[in-house]
Amino acid sequence: MDFDPVQAVRDYHAAIAALDFSAISAFFADDAVYRSAGTGGSIKGRAAILDAFRRYFEEFPDQRAEDSLVERVSPRAARSLWSLVATSRHSGLVSRRSGEETVTFDAKGRIVRVDVDDRETETPGAL
């Protein structure tokens, strides 16, 4: 069966929603790159990406995210349009964000690149 990047992104997002860090880790190639303005640029490497995810969810443990669209953009990439709501554990401020994410996979189906572009952010605090 052919690789389905749309289903792979849905599975990846489900692992994030479940805060299943073992599953999240398994999605990433060792040398993956995660680019997001919320991270201050790019994070390189699976370990560093997972560390960023852990720090983010320590601060925003109640995040609720939803995809309004997940579509194939190439045989090894999919794009999602998403929105989320999360409350800061320390400040109590509610963050509402929406944006676009493109996830690119290698031949083994592991994530090699994630590009996140926020479209709207009501309060700071992004991954």
Any idea how long the chain is? 127
Residue 58: which residues within 8 A CB-CB, separation 6 or more? 89
Task: Give the count of beta carbons closer than 10 Å to the beta carbon of residue 40.
Answer: 9
Residue 60 to residue 66: CA distance in whole angstroms:
15
User: Sorting pLDDT into bands at 50, 70 and 90, what band is 80?
Assistant: very high
Show the domains of the chain with their CATH numbers.
Answer: 5-121 (3.10.450.50)
| 17 pLDDT above the threshold of 50 | yes
pTM of structure: 0.90
Q: Which one, of 63, 65, 60, 36, lies nearest residue 48 by Cα?
A: 36
Query: What's the whole-number average pLDDT of the chain?
Result: 92
User: Mean pLDDT across the stretch 51-69?
Assistant: 95
> For 1-127, where are the E strands, in sequence order?
28-36, 41-44, 64-74, 77-87, 94-105, 111-121
DSSP string, 59-81: H-TT-EEEEEEEEEEETTEEEEE
